[in-house]
Each structure stands twice: as structure tokens, then as C-alpha cells.
Amino acid sequence: MADSFPKKEDLTICFAHAAYALGDKFTERKTGLSFVEIRDPAELKARIGEMDVVVTSGMWRNELLEGATRLRFVQSISAGTDQYDKAGFAAKGIRLASAQGANEKAVAEHALALMLAISRHLVDAVDNQRKRHWRPMIANPDMREAELGGQTLLIIGLGRIGQRAAALAKAFGMDVIGVRRNPEAGGGAADSVHAFGDLPGLLPKADFVLLTCPLTPETEKMIDAAALAAMKPTAYLVNMARGRCVDQDALIAALDSGGVAGAALDTVPEEPLPESSPLWDAKNIFITPHAGGETQHYENRIIDLLMENLGRLERGEAGLKNQIV
């Protein structure tokens, strides 16, 4: 593979995504660059040898590296990059950049929306509306809708999304505890910041536990049976990270036994979630289809990142925006 990045007139860019209209938005930029748009994994595998640049996320498979004879750069559409073989990229001289920041507002807002839906019993309200049932007023105060103000939110992962969620939570009057790999890096609006090793002592303090961390060996199944047992029985788990950060079987057991009050999951271990998954029938669970990062602005933000990084590659710069490899 040549050391120099291909000239613009020789560059072939591939937008590989099942849904996003990246090609349409790219055409609006009138860059003059050649591109193809692929929506099927089999076609991507068949044509990967034609591509200099691939813009993708969930359609990526590391087996593509074998046939990627021209590939020089992958612009990930997702902020998470656990699906990419970084060592394999480095060995082949292929650069990789994430989409960190493209959807931080959307993900943080989705997290707060899930917390509000739980607190204000909105799922029950939708069910009652479908049944044409006007719920009577509730005599027992403990069974009524709650307020976020005064409750404690524990955020695991204080990157850009976690810090954004902390700021929104503070606007609702919540107490916010943050956990991150390096507490000295700060936590934005969080009231305190702690290391991962402090988690067992922090879980019993939380009314909501929000995951916004990347998937790493340290965070895989971080929320296991022991972590769930440490939570209050009145607490809720909200996962905006990766499904594998939570031990699915342990969560179902905790929900069924009342060990925790409920969970809101935007990510699950296997996506799409199979019809046979026991998560569908778990008690007190609210599932959204990995929609937290969805926003009407997504395509344009991805293309902004792509154009910035293509410019840096053309100029021979060592660093990319959101560089991973």
C-alpha cells in the first residue's frame, strides 16, 4: 500500500449504512469527489477492494480487512469503535476516526427522556390511552409520579455524553455523581468525580444509574449481579452505552425479584433484539431500539467530520479529528 493518500480525482468513497442518507447530503456539498452508497453487507464485502475510504459503523466486519487492498481510511459513523480491529487497521496502515461529538446532545437528551418517562409514568400513560382508561388519582404517595429534582444520578462514563447528561440533570435539580477512568480529568457539571474502583460504594447512593461509558474489558458486564445487588431496590438502571456493559441474565433476575425497580435500555447485547429474547418480557423494563444517537442533523455532522479528515489526510497531517488509529 502506497504511503501517500490518493489524489482527489482518484479517490473512491463508500458510504455503507442501511438507513442514513449520507450520499444525498454528500452530493449537496458539491465536492466533485466520487462515491458509492452501499446498503447491503454482502455488497460491501464484494466491493471492498474498490474503496479508498469507507464511512460506516454497524455494517463493518473485520473480515473485510483481508480484501481491503486500497482502503486507507475508515470514518466511523458511531462514537463507539469497539467493532473495529484496531491492531488489524494499524498493521495495514489504515486510519480510523470515530464520530465522537456528532450525537452527544441527542444521546444525553435521550437519557434524560428515559429518566423522565420513568419518573412521570409515561409508559403507563400511553398504555392507558390505548385502553381509553382515565386513571384515577393515586392515594398512596409512594405510587405517584416522582420528580427528578433531589434525586441522585450516578453517571458511569464522564466523556462528552456523560458530561452533557450531567449538565441536563443539574438543570432538573439532581445531585450528580460521576465515575470515570481518570477522575483528575474532571467531570463538568457533576458534583463529584470518582474512579471505577469506587463504584461499589457509590451504587447504593443512586436513584438512577446511567451508563455512558465505552465498551472495554473493564466495562464489559460491569453491571453484574453484585452491582445490581448494591443498588437500592427503588433505583433504576439506564443504559446508553453498550449492551454488553450489563449482564443481561443478572438484570432480568434483579428485575423479576424486585432487586431494582426497573431499567431503561437503549442498547442490548444482541441487536436487533431477537423476538425470543427474555428482555422483552422482563418486569419493569423500557426498551428503545438504539435510537439515542438518532438526530435529524446526523448525516451533516458525519460529513463535516469526513471532510475535515479528508483534508488532513490530503495535506499529509499526522493527526485526524477523533483519531483512533
Nearest alpha-carbon partner for 316 in 109, 73, 15, 41: 73
Active-site pick, 290, 299, 315, 317: 290
User: Which residues does residue 287 pair with via DSSP β-bridges, in sequence order?
Assistant: 265
Region of 30 please: left (phi>0), alpha (psi -120 to 50) or beta: left
Active-site pick, 17, 110, 242, 312: 242
Annotation says 271 is catalytic: yes
Active-site pick, 28, 66, 271, 317: 271
Annotation says 180 is catalytic: no
Nearest alpha-carbon partner for 318 in 11, 309, 55: 309
Annotation says 194 is catalytic: no
Kindly list the distances between the CA atom of residue 24 and the CA atoms of 74, 129, 256, in Å, as whole numbers in the listed order. 19, 39, 47
**Residues with catalytic function:** 242, 271, 290
